[in-house]
């Protein structure tokens, strides 16, 4: 039944998009209007590979609740006011969806519901509201599977029968990374992602929708045939790919705007482009430039107001020889200044204590220095931290130092 509901929803949505646009149904429960009028202080909670939640597959409901409560306890102790919860890691869900199967990271089997049909997102929202902590739904738009070149995960038949990739195999592209992707150039791929966004907005009292930095994958991508079908107005496949991602971002923003109080943002890799590659870029030497490698023109999205905030992942220390945190924070401040788009900085809490990342990460004070720099800069509206385990475990005392900065 779930499979046929999903087909019907997607068909209805696609027809609406093609013939006259679409309207978001007024949600039954709207987010409280009292948006926090202060700097945003949050953390990412990753579900992929069971990184943060759940800690392992097939936990009992009581154990899952205990872990979610611990996450909220830690957020409170850190004086945080937002959690970005990964609810769709790989075309599957950590919430009750009619479009995407239950995640295997919950039960060990994609499509298998947790005991008592337990809904982690609904529980986290309800408990977060008691503590005035916003819950943002973090989505990976296009990845269907996770794998590596040495251990690829490209067997579409291994997915749950109600996975959209099984129902619409023509949308799927295997990539040299060992992973399956929805093809961003196929209009139905975009409609699927947008319908999933709409479902979340309609059914959950979330603070907003959040995309991470995975759009097109780096390296070669087998979409020449798709470009031949749809890319006639574009002289290069690169510009056409950027247009496809532009459409997803613009239309997602339009959907989110229809829910009062909800916001939409993206956390791209920290470098839009190096100055040596593009004169408008930052004075950096990054190996990945989102404009060229992910076909994500994040600078344009800010300038056009297609985002409510942007949260670049500036995962380098102050003074880094190739990608200086200070240089990048200043560059992004200049990009967002006067646009009305808020700037939240993504911090690498996970690097704390790792001497391989540089000496600055072993004194436990780098995050404190970065927060101080943000405030000195004056144009940064908040911080989001990746590496929940380092915060939870108070590695080198960073939980205490970060909390003290946010008192």
Set out the domains of the chain in order of their start, with CATH numbers. 36-405 (3.20.20.80)
For residues 190 and 290, give the distance between their C-alpha atoms in angstroms, rounded to a whole number.
19
Give the pLDDT band (50/70/90) at residue 26: very low
Give the pLDDT band (50/70/90) at residue 5: very low
Report long-range pairs for 24-28 (Cβ below 8 Å, ≥24 apart).
24/198, 24/201, 24/202, 24/255, 24/258, 24/259, 25/198, 25/202, 27/201, 27/202, 27/203, 27/205, 27/259, 28/202, 28/203
Q: What is the pLDDT of residue 17?
A: 45
Rounded to an integer, the average pLDDT of 166-189 is 96
For residues 279 and 45, give the distance between their C-alpha atoms in angstroms, rounded to a whole number.
35
Is the distance from CB of 286 to CB of 270 less than 8 angstroms?
yes
Look up residue 384 and give its two tokens.
Answer: 């989001």
> How do residues 299-320 score in pLDDT, each as one tens digit?
999 999 999 999 999 999 999 9
Within 10 angstroms of residue 70's Cβ, the number of other Cβ atoms is 13
Rounded alpha-carbon distances, angstroms, from residue 265 to 34, 182, 198, 250, 369: 19, 21, 15, 11, 25
For residues 201 and 198, give the distance between their C-alpha atoms in angstroms, rounded to a whole number.
5
Return phi, psi of residue 214, to 5°. -95, 105
For residues 373 and 395, give the distance between their C-alpha atoms in angstroms, rounded to a whole number.
21
For residues 275 and 299, give the distance between their C-alpha atoms in angstroms, rounded to a whole number.
14
Is the link from the previous residue into 216 a cis peptide, with omega within 30 of 0? no
The whole-model pTM stands at 0.92
Q: What is the pLDDT of residue 38?
A: 79
Q: What is the pLDDT of residue 10?
A: 53
Is the distance from CB of 252 to CB of 211 less than 8 angstroms?
yes
Rounded alpha-carbon distances, angstroms, from residue 142 to 64, 89, 117, 276, 278: 27, 9, 26, 30, 27
Residue with tokens 């029968």: 161
Q: What is the pLDDT of residue 259?
A: 97
> How do residues 49-107 score in pLDDT, each as one tens digit?
999 999 999 999 999 999 999 999 999 999 999 999 999 999 999 999 999 999 999 99
Tallying the residues shown for the chain, one arrives at: 407
Position 373 pLDDT exceeds 70: yes
Position 29 pLDDT exceeds 80: no
Helix axis angle, 187-203 relative to 237-257, nearest 10°? 20
**3-class secondary-structure state, position 44:** strand
Q: What is the pLDDT of residue 3?
A: 53
Give the pLDDT band (50/70/90) at residue 15: very low
Q: What is the pLDDT of residue 35?
A: 33
**3-class secondary-structure state, position 172:** strand
For residues 295 and 186, give the distance between their C-alpha atoms in angstroms, rounded to a whole number.
15
Give the pLDDT band (50/70/90) at residue 20: very low
Is the distance from CB of 382 to CB of 344 less than 8 angstroms?
yes
Position 403 pLDDT exceeds 60: yes
Q: What is the pLDDT of residue 183?
A: 97
Rounded to an integer, the average pLDDT of 188-214 is 97
Position 200 pLDDT exceeds 80: yes
Position 36 pLDDT exceeds 90: no
Give the pLDDT band (50/70/90) at residue 322: very high
CB-side exposure of 266: number of CA atoms within 13 Å? 26
Position 268 pLDDT exceeds 70: yes
Is the distance from CB of 94 to CB of 47 less than 8 angstroms?
yes
Position 22 pLDDT exceeds 80: no
For residues 75 and 127, give the distance between their C-alpha atoms in angstroms, rounded to a whole number.
12
DSSP 304-368: TT--SEE--B--S-TT-SSS-HHHHHHHHHHHHTTTS-EEEEEEEGGGTT-GGG-GGGSSS-HHH
Q: What is the pLDDT of residue 7?
A: 52
Look up residue 392 and give its two tokens.
Answer: 């939870």
> How do residues 327-372 score in pLDDT, each as one tens digit?
999 999 999 999 999 999 999 999 999 999 999 999 999 999 999 9
């Amino acid at each position: 039944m779930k499979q046929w509901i999903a087909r019907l929803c997607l068909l209805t949505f696609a027809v609406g998009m093609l013939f006259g646009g679409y309207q978001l149904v007024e949600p039954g429960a709207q987010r409280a209007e009292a948006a926090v009028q202060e700097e945003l202080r949050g953390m990412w909670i990753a579900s992929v590979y069971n990184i943060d939640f759940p800690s392992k597959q097939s936990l009992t409901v009581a154990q899952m609740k205990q872990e979610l409560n611990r996450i909220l306890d830690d957020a409170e102790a850190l004086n945080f006011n937002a959690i970005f919860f990964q609810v769709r890691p790989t075309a599957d869900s950590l919430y009750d969806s009619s479009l995407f199967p239950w995640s295997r990271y919950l039960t060990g089997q994609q499509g298998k519901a947790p005991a008592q049909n337990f809904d982690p997102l609904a529980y986290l929202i309800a408990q977060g509201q008691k503590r005035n902590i916003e819950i943002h739904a973090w989505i990976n738009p296009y990845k269907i599977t996770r794998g590596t070149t040495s251990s690829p995960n490209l067997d579409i038949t291994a997915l749950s029968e109600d996975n959209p990739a099984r129902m619409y195999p023509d949308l799927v592209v295997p990539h040299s990374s060992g992973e399956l992707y929805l093809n961003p150039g196929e209009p139905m791929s975009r409609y699927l992602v947008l319908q999933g966004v709409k479902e979340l907005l309609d059914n959950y009292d979330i603070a907003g929708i959040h995309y991470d930095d995975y759009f097109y994958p780096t390296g070669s991508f087998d979409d020449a045939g798709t470009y031949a079908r749809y890319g006639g107005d574009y002289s290069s496949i690169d510009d056409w790919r950027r247009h496809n991602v532009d459409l997803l971002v613009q239309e997602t923003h339009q959907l989110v705007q229809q829910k009062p109080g909800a916001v939409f943002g993206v956390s791209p890799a920290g470098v839009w482009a190096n100055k040596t590659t593009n004169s408008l870029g930052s004075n950096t030497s990054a190996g990945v430039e989102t404009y060229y490698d992910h076909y994500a023109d994040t600078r344009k999205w800010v300038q056009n107001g297609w985002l409510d905030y942007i949260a670049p992942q500036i995962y380098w220390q102050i003074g880094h020889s190739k990608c200086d945190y200070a240089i990048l924070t200043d560059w992004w401040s200049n990009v967002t200044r006067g646009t009305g788009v808020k700037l939240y900085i993504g911090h690498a809490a996970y690097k704390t204590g790792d001497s391989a990342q540089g000496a600055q990460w072993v004194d436990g004070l780098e995050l404190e220095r970065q927060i101080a720099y943000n405030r000195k800069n004056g144009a940064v509206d908040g911080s989001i931290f990746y590496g929940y385990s380092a915060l939870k475990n108070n590695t080198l005392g960073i939980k205490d130092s970060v909390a003290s900065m946010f008192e």
